[in-house]
A and B are shown apart, each in its own frame.
Chain A
Amino acid sequence: MFETLSDRLNDTFGKLNRKGRLTEPDVDNAMREVRRALLEADVNFKVVKEFVASVRERAIGQDVLRSLTPAQTVIGIVNEELIAVLGAEQVPLNTPVRPPQIILMVGLNGAGKTTHTGKLAVHLRKQGKNPLMVAADVYRPAAINQLQSLGKQVNVAVYEEGTKADPVEISRNAIRFANERGFNPVIIDTAGRLQIDQALMQELVQIRDAVQPSEILLVADAMTGQEAVGVAEEFNARLDLTGLVLTKMDGDARGGAALSIRAVTGIPIKFIGTGEKLDALEPFHPDRLAGRILGMGDVVSLIERAQEQTDEQEAERLQNRMMKGQFDLEDFLDQLQKIKKMGPLSQIMEMIPGLSQQMRQAKAQISDDDYKQVEAIIRGMTPWERRYPERIDHGRRRRIARGSGVERQDVNRLLSQFKEMQKMMGQFGQMAKKGKMPKNLPFDL
């Protein structure tokens, strides 16, 4: 939906390239694009202002003016600065002097606190710990049931006292309970609240004072807009946050909110939530987030999506078949299905870096509807035909065309394209044998 920064910078500098020399106003134009890209990624406007100022300073100092590839130079600087602000190193969870380790989860309504309480418990148990989840959200209907249900799913104990009890009391009792039974760490799930809700914010302060947590994590939605700063500032002022969990990063939000929160409060981003499954919790990678904020391709996510769809053995079997030139239409159809499951084609292509320039063109050429036609044609074939496409004669072609509702030349085109593809794969196979090509071709993408 939004153009990427590299596209825009290429446009900006492209016009100037013919002129041969860049001037300071040209850099200002580029900075305008940087500013726009960040605002479209929902980075807070105050943060953007400071950020752009420091990028501008470096850009002029680093001779963008004389650079042969000014767009790349600017993007390089922006990227480095982003990573610097986001925090280059991984910050682990705080370990308290005295057990148990107490983690307090706070945030707005619907940010994903309860789900991430569950995810964090799974994560900690993988490290050999014995976590306890505490249901201190007594307000939202069935919030306690939700935590209990999660607990059952992942086999983690849940402490609750129903909806009539006081969240401060629940938390205090939960710590006592954990100490008696040897649970450590203790993760307290609190109710979602607005940062301006005085009564509920006070309740959080009381919980904090009662249990002295070693970790207070703000759970924030990656889709949050400009208000992310106001929210984080207020929670931080009241509670002294120790970290941020950025949720719903499996969507396509650019996640500029994380940059804002980090820049304003200085709290480290500790985890990224990347899916609905309870193991979808990842440590934070500043470079990946920086690329994403800039709308640059996200290859890692692409590969992850591909991995969701294929298992390794299957991929290896397929690769062997390709190398030997045995790849048939049956395999091809199978691959098509997998790509389809990864999402609409246009979206997949947006994730491939460097493709964006030509993307709009390519988008016009390949649409999801073309897929459908190819699929229909292959489905119109018998298994024998799919296995030996080279033996499909005229009569069969006519039948396939009629059966799949296309013209005969469509069938012809598919078959000749597929023949080309097979030939190419065969060549790759030969080259791989001679060691000219890397062994793992990304064909299973």
Chain B
Amino acid sequence: MVLKKLFRRQAEPDVLLDKGLEKTRRGVFLEITRLFDRSQIDDELFEDLEMLLIQADVGWDVSQQLVRELQQRIRDERIVSPAETREVLRLEMIQLLELASRNRKVKILQRGVPFVILVTGVNGAGKTTSIAKLAQYHKNFGRSVMLAAGDTFRAAAIDQLNVWGKRLDCPVIAHQQGADPGAVVFDAMQAAHNRNVDVLIVDTAGRLHTKHNLMAELQKLRKIMQKHVPEAPQEVLLIIDATTGQNGLVQANEFTKSVEITDIMISKLDGTSKGGIAFSVAKELGTPISYIGTGEQLTDLAEFRPDTYVDSLFFGEGEGF
């Protein structure tokens, strides 16, 4: 099964889950395949294609744009075979994502300076689970990781991070529930310095981007970090749930305005959603999508690659990584 090879590199085989994934995923692959499995290119093809893209949450504007450009190129380049058309579409989609990926900044981990990752997102996006995976990811590179329990609002969020900390064997800096997240971050920055930690990952409470006060709080956390390390947070990660519809774009926009998101992670890609929102975000905001999350295991994290993303979610092929 393609996806398993792509995303669950180190995961244990899970027969039941795989079968489930296979069934639903194949539905879309088949539809896309069937779409181009015809003798000639006609209007119906483009109409159906637009619907398939919308069905994948790519959104009205971007779907329209993709289809229009495809039609244009077919006319200009006198493409007549549906198979070729399919390849043009594939490349177009990859290109769209690459536009944003190019904005990804190379991050340098300096010895003696903690690399601070501020993790944000709306409620239920999967921040805490993603943090655990991210910690594992950095540990795989031999880096020492510390977690900061900046979500002091949700009941038991601190416990949840502590459980992960224990499993990962990472120190967790936490205060009581209801404490000031600023104070937690302050302590964590100091502790990271003192213990010579390579990577500090800061959890934050889920917040809807419409909550003005809470968005301002994120800016405050940033300032506190900068008192210790001027370039911190070196990574500001926005987690977007793959099942999110068009509101994902609004989320990305608002979070970017408040805290200068440097990277986006699409979580929960093990569901049936195609994560089409990535295309809108890439086109409208250009914020690079850097990671994808595919499950509840620590190893279910992969670096985002436009070609594998498009191939595995839309075309059902590709042997990446």
- A108 near B59: Cβ-Cβ < 8 Å: no
A196-B23, A276-B153 known; A225 vs B210 contact (CB < 8 Å) = no
- B160 near A142: Cβ-Cβ < 8 Å: yes
A39-B60, A256-B245 known; A343 vs B210 contact (CB < 8 Å) = yes
B19, B245, B249: which contacts A226 (Cβ < 8 A)?
B245
Counting CB contacts under 8 A, is A291 at the interface?
no
B56, B60, B125, B208: which contacts A40 (Cβ < 8 A)?
B60
Q: Which residues of A contact B21 (CB under 8 A)?
A: 196
Q: Which residues of B contact A115 (CB under 8 A)?
A: 154
Contact with B along A195-223 (1 / 0, CB 8 A): 11111000000000000000000000111
Counting CB contacts under 8 A, is B277 at the interface?
yes
Q: A221 CA to B273 CA in the complex, in Å? A: 14
- B100 to chain A: closest CB distance in Å? 17
- A189 to chain B: closest CB distance in Å? 12
Give chain B interface residues in 137-193, CB to chain A under 8 Å.
Answer: 153-157, 159-160, 162-164, 177
- B210 near A146: Cβ-Cβ < 8 Å: no
Which of A76-84, A245-253, A417-425 has 4 or more CB atoms under 8 Å from chain B? A245-253
Q: A146 CA to B128 CA in the complex, in Å? A: 14
- B231 to chain A: closest CB distance in Å? 27
- A396 to chain B: closest CB distance in Å? 32
Q: A111 CA to B156 CA in the complex, in Å? A: 17
Smallest CB-CB separation from B127: which chain A residue?
A: A110
Q: Which residues of B contact A384 (CB under 8 A)?
A: none
Q: A140 CA to B156 CA in the complex, in Å? A: 11
* A contact patch SS: loop
Contact with A along B273-284 (1 / 0, CB 8 A): 100110000000
Smallest CB-CB separation from A141: which chain B residue?
A: B163
- B248 near A223: Cβ-Cβ < 8 Å: yes
Q: A198 CA to B16 CA in the complex, in Å? A: 7
Give the size range of A's interface with the partner: 35 or more
Counting CB contacts under 8 A, is B24 at the interface?
yes
A143-B156, A145-B159, A146-B154 known; A40 vs B272 contact (CB < 8 Å) = no
Counting CB contacts under 8 A, is B72 at the interface?
no
Q: A251 CA to B296 CA in the complex, in Å? A: 26
A196-B272, A227-B273 known; A251 vs B155 contact (CB < 8 Å) = no
Q: A9 CA to B63 CA in the complex, in Å? A: 21
- A226 near B56: Cβ-Cβ < 8 Å: yes
Counting CB contacts under 8 A, is A1 at the interface?
yes
- A224 near B245: Cβ-Cβ < 8 Å: yes
- B125 near A146: Cβ-Cβ < 8 Å: no
Counting CB contacts under 8 A, is B71 at the interface?
no
The 6 A-B residue pairs with the shortest CB-CB distance, nearest first, are: A225-B245, A110-B124, A42-B245, A146-B156, A141-B163, A149-B155
New contact pairs (17) apart from A231-B272, A252-B209, CB-CB < 8 Å: A40-B59, A42-B57, A142-B157, A146-B156, A146-B159, A146-B160, A147-B155, A148-B156, A149-B156, A197-B20, A198-B19, A248-B123, A250-B210, A252-B210, A252-B247, A256-B245, A257-B245
Chain A residues proximal to chain B, CB less than 8 Å: 1-2, 36, 39-42, 45, 108-112, 114-115, 118, 139-143, 145-150, 153, 194-199, 221-228, 230-231, 248, 250-254, 256-257, 276, 340-344, 347
